[in-house]
């Protein structure tokens, strides 16, 4: 086959695997590394369910090729907590009930982390705009916004 060896740095660990060059980062995570916290919604860049951080910036993993992610630090929802300590964004989502069915939640949280880190959460409008690429079918938007704004301080 046309699979080639590659090494991806996921949540601080180097993982070597063989993948077809066209494999998306999303499929690499879910199908080849059992990191199924990152969700596949639309698979076309429309829903944000697959949001991860690459070198600290958010990306849609469904639009990113795994091969292009080599040499970068990839963070998924599985990598946010430090041992038993949840990330402040995870705590805030719990506190504000920032989810209902939970399917969009990992992507929402990763987007929220980037939102705060990049300074886009200083007002409700700004945070809402930044988070607008992350769809929630249950309509938990007000609670998600409250969580992101709380972490922003
Ligand atoms: Fe990637 Fe929807 S699955 S944006």
How far, in Å, is the centroid of ligand 1 from the Cα of 43? 4
Spell out the domains of the chain, with CATH numbers in brackets: 4-78 (3.10.20.30), 88-152 (1.10.150.120)
Pocket test for ligand 1, best of 36, 54, 58, 60 (most atoms within 8 A of CB): 60
Cα torsion through 117, 118, 120, 122, rounded to 10 = 50
First to last CA, the chain: 51
Q: 133: how many CB neighbours lie within 10 A of its CB?
A: 15
Q: Is 45 in the pocket of ligand 1 (CB under 6 A)?
A: yes
Q: Is 8 in the pocket of ligand 1 (CB under 6 A)?
A: no
- For the CA of 48, the closest atom of ligand 1 is 4
Q: Stretch 104-125: mean pLDDT, rounded?
A: 97
Taking only the tens place, the pLDDT of each residue in 73-90 is 999 999 999 999 999 999
What one-character-per-residue DSSP string does 30-65 give?
Answer: IIIS--TTS--SSSSSSS-TTEEEETTEEEEGGGSB
Tell me if ipTM is over 0.90.
Answer: yes
Q: Stretch 7-22: mean pLDDT, rounded?
A: 96
CA angle, residues 54, 50, 112, in degrees to nearest 5:
70
Q: Is 50 in the pocket of ligand 1 (CB under 6 A)?
A: yes
How far, in Å, is the centroid of ligand 1 from the Cα of 47? 5
Task: Measure the CA–CA gap between 143 and 56, rounded to whole angstroms.
Answer: 24
What pLDDT is attached to residue 101? 96
Confidence of residue 98 (pLDDT cuts 50, 70, 90): very high
Task: Measure the CA–CA gap between 115 and 49, rounded to whole angstroms.
Answer: 15
Asked if residues 17 and 8 have their Cβ atoms less than 8 Å apart, the reply is yes
Q: What is this structure's pTM?
A: 0.96
């Amino acid at each position: 086959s046309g699979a080639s060896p590659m090494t991806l740095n996921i949540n601080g660990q180097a993982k070597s695997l063989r993948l077809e060059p066209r494999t998306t980062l999303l499929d690499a995570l879910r199908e080849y590394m059992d990191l199924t916290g990152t969700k596949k919604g639309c698979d076309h860049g429309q829903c944000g369910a697959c949001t991860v951080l690459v070198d600290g910036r958010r990306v849609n993993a469904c639009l990113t090729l795994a091969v292009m992610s080599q040499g970068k630090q990839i963070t998924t929802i599985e990598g946010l907590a430090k041992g038993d300590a949840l990330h402040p964004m995870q705590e805030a989502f719990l506190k504000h009930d920032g989810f209902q069915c939970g399917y969009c939640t990992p992507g929402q949280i990763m987007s929220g982390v980037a939102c705060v880190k990049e300074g886009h959460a200083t007002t409700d409008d700004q945070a809402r705009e930044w988070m607008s690429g992350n769809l929630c079918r249950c309509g938990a938007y007000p609670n998600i916004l409250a969580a992101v704004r709380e972490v922003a301080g």
